[in-house]
Amino acid sequence: EPSIAFVPKLVGIPYFSAMKQGFEQAGKKFGAHIIYQGPTTASVSGQAEMVQSLINKHVTAVGVSANSPTALEALAKQAKDHGILFYSTDSQVDGPDVDLRVQQTSNKALAYTVIDQLATAIGGKGDVAFVSGGPTATNLNEWIALMKQRIAAKYPAIKVVSIQYAGEDINNATQVTGQLLSAYPHLKGVVGVNSTAVPGAAQAVLRAGLSGKVAVTGITDPNSIRPFIMNGTVKSVVLWNPIALGYLTAWGIMQELAHKPFATENAVPGLKGKVHYDAATHTLLLGKPLVIDKANVSLNF
C-alpha cells in the first residue's frame, strides 16, 4: 500500500482539515496510507523541514500546498532523485520537478466570480476595500491582482480605495475593517480575500450597524460565514469544495503511481463531472468556483 504524504500550508484550520478528509476518503477507496503533517504557522521553512523528513522516510509520494512557489524546488528535485513522487495541490510549486499539480479552480474564474458577486451586491459602482490575509501569501496576492483586473475591465465605476492585510486572524480582520469603515465613510463594499477576512469584515460591518449598507463578500468556507449569511450581513461568498480537492489530489497521485496517463477530460470515480488535465503544466483542474449563499450554506466544510 503506497503512503501519500500531504503537507498543508499550516495545520489547525478547517480548510486543510477538509482537504485531509478528501485525501482520506480517496485513500480508503483506492488503497493508500495518508500522512497529514504541516507546520502550525504558514512557515516556509517549517514546511520544508516536514517535506525533508518525509523524503528521508521514503514515503511513496509527498506533496504540499505551498507557502512559497520556489522554496520547495530543491526538495522536489531531491524527491525525484529518491524516486518519490512530488506533487503540489491548492497552492503550487514551480519548476520542472513537480510530477503533478492539482488546481482547485482557475484563479481567474475565482477572482472574476467574486467581483461579479460584489458588483451585483453594490449595484455596479462605489468605493470598495479589500481585506486580505498575510501580505506575502502568493495565491491571495494573485487573486487580488486578478480581481483588480476584472474591476478595471468590466466595472469602471467601482474604485478600490484600500487593500489591508489582517493575517489569518479574525480579530485583526474585524479591527482593520472597522478602521476602513471610518477611514472611508463612503465605502460600499468589502472583499475578504481569505477565510478569516470575510467573517471578520462581516462582523465589523454588523457591529457598526451598516448591515445592508456595506456589502461583504469574498472567498471563505460555509462554516465560517454561516452566521453572517443567516443574519443577512453577507449575501454570498465564493469557494470550491476542499474535500473534493483533496479527494481529486489523492486520485491523481494514485493514477500517476499506477502509470496511468491522464486524458484531457477525466472521469473520477466518486466525483461528479469531468476533470480537466493540462499536460503542459501537469495540472488537474477541479472545476468551477462554487457560489455559497443562503441556499447551500448548510454545506459542512
- Residue 300 Cα distances to 22, 222, 241, 242, angstroms: 13, 7, 10, 11
Instruction: Report the candidate in 244, 243, 172, 298 with the shortest Cα–Cα distance to residue 14.
Output: 243
Instruction: Report the candidate in 185, 196, 186 with the shortest Cα–Cα distance to residue 218.
Output: 196
CA distance 253 to 294: 35
Q: How far is the CB of 86 from another protein (least distance, A)?
A: 15
How many angstroms from the chain centroid is the CA of residue 219? 8
**Residues paired with 131 in a beta bridge:** 164, 192
Q: How far is the CB of 166 from another protein (least distance, A)?
A: 10
Q: Does 183 bind another protein (CB under 8 A)?
A: yes
Q: Site mask, another protein, residues 224-243, x = CB under 8 A?
A: x-xx---x------------
Query: Do residues 191 and 147 make contact, with C-beta atoms less than 8 angstroms apart?
Result: yes
Query: Do residues 247 and 22 make contact, with C-beta atoms less than 8 angstroms apart?
Result: yes
Between 185 and 269, name the residue whose CB sits nearer to another protein: 185
Q: By CB under 8 A, what part of segment 83-102 binds another protein?
A: 94-95
Q: Does 12 bind another protein (CB under 8 A)?
A: yes
Q: Does 50 bind another protein (CB under 8 A)?
A: yes
Q: Does 285 bind another protein (CB under 8 A)?
A: no
Q: How far is the CB of 111 from another protein (least distance, A)?
A: 17
Q: By CB under 8 A, what part of segment 159-178 binds another protein?
A: 162-165, 168-171, 173-176, 178
Q: Does 298 bind another protein (CB under 8 A)?
A: no
Q: Does 73 bind another protein (CB under 8 A)?
A: yes
